[in-house]
């Protein structure tokens, strides 16, 4: 039987994911789960696996869309971009390169959340992979010329998430007359 890199990747990821456990939602994690220690994992590069993420944030394996949200969420938690500009899925024992068309993740919604401790509202950004990030100076808002004026945010492990059209319009609707939104007492321009 031929070595199937995709199946091996799923198997190795499952061994570190704590299957059967219902973890709490982690803000600041690309998939809403406790983040993997990707910065501590430095396995050997095992080459390329035929996984691609298109401009709309959809994941494909050998040309077929991966429709299981749990699998996309798992893989998103294992994704990092390295110094060479390439994207890799990383487990404790292997690293495989994947193709990303524009941005690997998408912001699919934005909503105001009241911070009980500071009484300031923050903008929560919900990702297509199940993660939640707050708009702040770490994420920022950077214009994406290839996305008709929409922006992307910066995430851990050199990742980024582009706003979907619906999420961008929702954010624009929250803006003041000067084209700015507020999160955690900070002002961010959409222009």
**Model confidence pLDDT, tens digit, residues 81-96:** 999 999 999 999 999 9
Total number of domains in the chain? 2
Tokens 């198997």, residue located: 11
Judge whether 143 and 191 are in contact, CB under 8 Å.
no
Residues 91, 127, single domain; the answer is: no
Residues 38, 116, single domain; the answer is: no
> Would you give the end-to-end CA distance of the chain in angstroms?
55
pTM of the model: 0.84
* Cα 164 to Cα 110: distance, rounded to the nearest angstrom: 10
**In this structure, what token pair is assigned to residue 70?**
């749990």
Percent of the chain with pLDDT over 90: 67
What CATH number did the domain enclosing 83 receive?
3.10.540.10
* Cα 136 to Cα 183: distance, rounded to the nearest angstrom: 7
Domain boundary residue among 81, 100, 119? 100
Tokens 């004026």, residue located: 149
- To 10 degrees, the CA torsion angle through 100, 162, 113, 75? -10
pLDDT in tens, 175-184: 999 999 999 8
* Cα 88 to Cα 174: distance, rounded to the nearest angstrom: 35
Residues 148, 163, single domain; the answer is: yes
Residues 70, 18, single domain; the answer is: yes
Residue 191 is predicted with a pLDDT of 83
User: Under 8 Å CB-to-CB from 182, ≥6 apart: which residues?
Assistant: 121, 123, 176, 188
Domain boundary residue among 44, 74, 100? 100
């Amino acid at each position: 039987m031929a070595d199937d890199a995709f199946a091996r990747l799923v198997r190795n990821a499952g061994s570190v994911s704590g299957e059967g456990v219902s973890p709490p939602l982690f803000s600041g994690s690309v998939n809403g789960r406790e983040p993997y220690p990707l910065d501590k994992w430095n396995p050997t590069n095992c080459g390329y696996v035929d996984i691609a993420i298109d401009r709309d944030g959809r994941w494909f394996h050998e040309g077929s869309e991966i429709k299981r949200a749990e699998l996309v969420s798992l893989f998103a938690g294992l994704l990092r971009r390295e110094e060479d500009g390439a994207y890799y899925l990383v487990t404790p024992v292997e690293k495989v390169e994947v193709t990303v068309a524009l941005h690997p993740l998408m912001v699919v919604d934005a909503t105001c959340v009241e911070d009980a401790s500071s009484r300031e509202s923050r903008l929560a950004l919900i990702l297509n992979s199940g993660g939640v990030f707050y708009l702040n100076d770490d994420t920022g808002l950077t214009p994406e010329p290839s996305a008709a004026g929409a922006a992307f945010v910066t995430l851990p492990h050199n990742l980024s998430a582009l706003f979907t059209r619906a999420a961008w319009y929702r954010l624009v609707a929250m803006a003041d007359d000067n084209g700015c939104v507020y999160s955690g007492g900070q002002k961010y321009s959409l222009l």
